Structure 1
Amino acid sequence: MASEFQRQKVAGVFHAMDADGNGYLEESDFETLTARWVGIRGWEPGTEDHDRMRAIMMGWWSAVASLSDADHDDKVSLDELMTVVDKLPEIDDAVYATAEAMFDAVDQNGDDRIALAEHQQVVQAWKGSADGVADVFGKLDLNGDGHLTREEFRELWAGFWIGDDPKSPSQWVFGPY
């Protein structure tokens, strides 16, 4: 069972992603998050970058819905999501696959690393604000080279969803809460 710390950090992400604030994650929330993100980057509908981002985000919605929507009402409550969080250590391959897709989405220029500005964009899209991201980026940059490598991001992403250590840098992958 998820600890109170795990529930708190996942709840922070859940509420940020609940774009309409109705207490559920729905397909429309992921459409809104996609629109925010491509808007920040200036990608127009029909462009390759726009379509790739939409595919990644809607793929994430499909995974969340298929794993979490226990009552099949096309919406996911925090409690439903937490039942999946409890199971994530057993399906860590799915967590790492999601990390790979999200890395590709965040890495705007395709240089196989995430710079602070790229990380700020994604947090801005998810939360509506990038406040504090610059303050925590150094904690995420595990080797101190000024960017996140694919491996660093994979470990941080997995650590956020699976981990239970409040002192782990992974707690900051979605920015401060």
Structure 2
Amino acid sequence: MASEFQRRKVAGVFEAMDADRNGFLEESDFEALTQRWVGIRGWQPGTEDHERMRAIMMGWWSAISTMSDADHDDKVSLDELMTVVDQLPAMDDAVYATAEAMFDAIDENGDDRIAAAEHQQVVYAWKGSADGAEEVFPKLDLNGDGHLSRDEFRELWSGFWRGDDPASPSQWMFGPYQTS
């Protein structure tokens, strides 16, 4: 069972993804997330980048709804999502596949690394604000080279979704949030 710390950090991401603030994740929330992200980058509908981002976000919705929507009402509550979070320690393939897809979405210029500015974009897309993202990026940059490699990102992503250590750098994947 997820700890209170895990619930708080996942709840922060959940709230950011819940675009209409109705207390549930729905397909329309992932459409809104897609629109925020492509809007930041200026990608127009029909372009390769726009369609790739939409496929990644809608694929994530499909996975979350399939695994979490216990009552099949096309809505996922925080409690339903937490049942999946409880299962993530035994789901290496799924966690790492999601990390790969998200890395590709964040790596705007395709140089196989995530710069601080790219990380700020994703924090803004998720939360509507990049406040504090500059301060947390150095915590994420495990080797201090100014970028997140694919391997660094994968471990940070996994640590966020499966970890329970408030001191771990992975807790800052989605930028600063209230931890108490």
The question of a shared fold, defined as TM-score above 0.5 by the shorter chain, is answered with: yes
- Equivalent-residue separation in structure 2 for 1:103 and 1:126 (angstroms): 14
Which digits, 9 at most, give the CA deviation of each residue in 1:48-83, with x for residues without a partner? 000000000000000000000000000000000000
Partner of 1:150: 150
Partner of 2:33: 33
CA-atom RMSD in angstroms? 0.4
- Equivalent-residue separation in structure 1 for 2:77 and 2:40 (angstroms): 28
1:96 aligns with 2:96: yes
Structure 1 alignment gaps of length 5 or more: none
Structure 2 alignment gaps of length 5 or more: none
Within 5 Å, which residues of 2 pair with 1:96-115? 96-115=96-115
- Structure 2 residue identity aligned to 1:91: M
1:82 aligns with 2:82: yes
User: What TM-score results when the alignment is normalised by the length of structure 1?
Assistant: 0.99
- Equivalent-residue separation in structure 1 for 2:92 and 2:173 (angstroms): 17
User: What TM-score results when the alignment is normalised by the length of structure 2?
Assistant: 0.98
Q: Once the 2 structures are TM-superposed, how far is the Cα of residue 47 of structure 1 from its aligned partner?
A: 0.2
What's the % identity of the aligned pairs?
A: 84
Partner of 2:173: 173
- Structure 2 residue identity aligned to 1:157: W
Partner of 1:116: 116
After TM superposition, the runs of 4+ consecutive aligned structure 1 residues lying more than 2 A away are: none
Partner of 2:47: 47
Aligned length: 177
- Structure 1 residue identity aligned to 2:3: S
Partner of 1:161: 161
Partner of 1:16: 16
Q: Once the 2 structures are TM-superposed, how far is the Cα of residue 93 of structure 1 from its aligned partner?
A: 1.1
